[in-house]
Amino acid sequence: MKLGLLGGTFNPIHLAHLRIAEEAREAASLDQVLFIPTADPPHKPLAGDVSFELRAAMVQQAIADNPAFGFSDIEARRSGKSYTVDTLTALRAERPGDELYFIIGSDSFLELGLWHRYAAIFPLASLIVLERPEKEITEPLQQLPETVRDQFLHEADNLLRHSSGTSIRFVIGTRLDISSSQLRERVARHQSIRYLVPPEIESFITQKGLYQP
């Protein structure tokens, strides 16, 4: 199985997350995309003190109508910070027959050099990079961390090939400029988030009283 992996705090999940997953699935002919909520974010504290269980519930509601989308609680099943390299290593062990494709935005790609043990990520999974507004990838090879550039070949305009056989594919998709922080701010100001999140997520946030000041 060609398995896409989309991680994030999903605090809350929104339409841009769903669209990124769908466009990555289509671009790489993925069989399924797993949504993986972060349990303990390594780079910044979790805003709003929203539990993993609540964020996981939002994800499961948001993806319920798409049979190509799935959910994994793998990061909640282990202790410590939710580092990507550890998650990919665990998924490799759990699903040895699957091809793994880790889906990120171009903003995350440009910060790969700051990630924990980032060089170990490339042999574990291929990357699918979706371009985000104002974070263009103009020179893919040169925009990689310098320490790993010699491990890649520029195979096509939108494809880099790693020496292990994995790849990095760049996809220009629908540029939906929606962020979870923007949504939390709107909720706190009692402004509408309709048409920015699925209707069931809007209702869930209201019912649970999330993101109130």
| Structural domain includes residue 204 | no
Residue 200 has pLDDT above 90, yes or no: yes
pLDDT digits (tens, 9 = 90+) for 80-138: 788 999 999 999 999 999 999 999 999 999 999 999 999 999 999 999 999 877 788 88
pLDDT, average across residues 65-90: 93
Residue 43: pLDDT above 70? no
Concatenating the DSSP letter of every residue in 92-120 gives HHH-TTSEEEEEEEHHHHTTGGGSTTGGG
d(CA 112, CA 89): 17
Residue 47 main-chain phi, psi, to 5 deg: -70, 140
Residue 164 lies in a domain: yes
Distance, CA of 202 to CA of 183 (rounded, Å): 10
Range of the domain at 119: 2-177
Helices then strands, each counted (H, E), the chain: 6, 8
Is position 190 within any domain? Answer: no
Q: Which domain CATH number covers 168?
A: 3.40.50.620
**116's tokens:** 């924990």
Instruction: Give the C-alpha separation, 168 to 166, whole Å.
Output: 7
Whether residue 205 lies inside any domain: the answer is no
Reference 124, options 157, 153, 95; nearest CA is: 95
Tell me whether residue 188 is in a domain.
Answer: no
Mean pLDDT, the chain, rounded, equals: 94
pLDDT given for residue 82 in this prediction: 81
Q: What's residue 78's pLDDT?
A: 82
Question: Does any domain span residue 95?
Answer: yes
Residue 198 counted as domain residue: no
Residue 35 and residue 21 in contact, taking contact as beta carbons nearer than 8 Å:
yes
Tokens encoding 150: 């010699």
pLDDT over 70, % of the chain: 99
Q: What is the mean pLDDT of residues 18-25?
A: 97
Q: Could you tell me if residue 59 is inside a domain?
A: yes
The better pLDDT of the pair 76, 44 is held by 76
pLDDT at position 46 over 80: no
Q: How many domains, in total, are found in the chain?
A: 1
The sign of the torsion formed by the CA atoms of 152, 155, 156, 162 equals: negative
The mean pLDDT of 134-155, rounded to a whole number, is 92
